[in-house]
Amino acid sequence: MRLKKIKGADEAVEASKYVVHEEDKQFGKWHELFGNQNPIHIEIGMGKGRFLMDLAKQNPQVNYIGIERYSSVLYRALQKMEEEPLTNLFFICMDASTIHQVFAPREVARIYLNFSDPWPKDRHAKRRLTSVEYLKRYHIILTPEGLVEFKTDNEALFDFTLESVAAAGWKLSGCTRDLHHDLQMNQGNVMTEYEERFSTKGNPIYKLIAYR
């Protein structure tokens, strides 16, 4: 993704009450931060946060955490939160490769991966958020019934993900190569920014839901 560095974004992220700093210190204590025992759902690579904000508004009985590595992108979500604050949503500015050092075993009930960066070169395959390496980290932090929900418009990344899921011994509870024309899988679908952009261009949206 091409990234425009926004002046003041680092400072805004650093000062924001909606961003959890020193996130590794919350390890095993995320429920305390929300002040309840509601399930915790996270989105890795949340971008500007539209998807999570819509979900957080729809589901006050769920706690949400959005993870984004670039402050200039996260900054846009913070601006929206200032306008319309939500008590069941926090953000972390971090690279997800250390996700298992931030969440304790079985602390997370669901992981959303939406339009993840494809990393098309073979030598970068381990960086894909649906690689076996990442699935191993998700296995640690997810509850036994936990789910990974993945959407993309990138067929090669989707095929790669199907292989990773099988190689890691996970199973599929849902899979479609045309989400918006799949009545069952599309029920209650919340669109992401990228999903709207790509589907407007006519690209089919791929989705799978994986569990162990």
Please tell me whether residue 152 binds ligand SAM under the rule CB under 6 A.
Answer: no
Please tell me whether residue 9 binds ligand SAM under the rule CB under 6 A.
Answer: no
Contacts of 188 (CB under 8 A, 6+ apart): none
Per-residue three-class SS string for 73-124: HHHHHHHHHHHCCCCCEEEEECCHHHHHHCCCCCCEEEEEEECCCCCCCHHH
- Which of residues 95, 145, 155, 178 is near ligand SAM by CB under 6 A? 95
Q: Which CB atom, from 171 or from 202, has the smaller least distance to ligand SAM?
A: 202
Please tell me whether residue 161 binds ligand SAM under the rule CB under 6 A.
Answer: no
Cα of first residue to Cα of last residue in the chain, in angstroms, is 31
Number of residues near ligand SAM (by CB under 6 A):
21
- Which of residues 103, 131, 192, 205 is near ligand SAM by CB under 6 A? 192
- Which of residues 31, 69, 76, 100 is near ligand SAM by CB under 6 A? 69
Residue found by looking up tokens 């209650």 in the block: 188
Contacts of 128 (CB under 8 A, 6+ apart): 116, 117, 118, 119, 134, 157, 160, 161, 164
Q: Residue 36 and residue 31: Cα distance in Å, rounded?
A: 6
Among 29-37, 66-74, 102-110, 164-172, the segment contacting ligand SAM (CB under 6 A)? 66-74
Please tell me whether residue 130 binds ligand SAM under the rule CB under 6 A.
Answer: no
Please tell me whether residue 45 binds ligand SAM under the rule CB under 6 A.
Answer: yes
The number of beta carbons lying within 10 Å of the beta carbon of residue 11 is 11
Q: Residue 212 and residue 210: Cα distance in Å, rounded?
A: 7
Q: Are 50 and 119 in contact (CB under 8 A)?
A: no
Does 117 qualify as catalytic in the annotation? yes
* Least gap, CB of 37 to ligand SAM (angstroms): 27
- Which of residues 31, 80, 117, 174 is near ligand SAM by CB under 6 A? 117
Please tell me whether residue 206 binds ligand SAM under the rule CB under 6 A.
Answer: no
Please tell me whether residue 133 binds ligand SAM under the rule CB under 6 A.
Answer: no
Q: Which CB atom, from 96 or from 171, has the smaller least distance to ligand SAM?
A: 96
Please name the helix (run of DSSP H) or strand (run of DSSP E) that holds residue 34, with its range, or none: helix 30-34
Q: Residue 130 and residue 116: Cα distance in Å, rounded?
A: 8
* Least gap, CB of 85 to ligand SAM (angstroms): 21
List 117, 122, 153, 178, catalytic entry: 117
The residues carrying an active-site annotation are 117
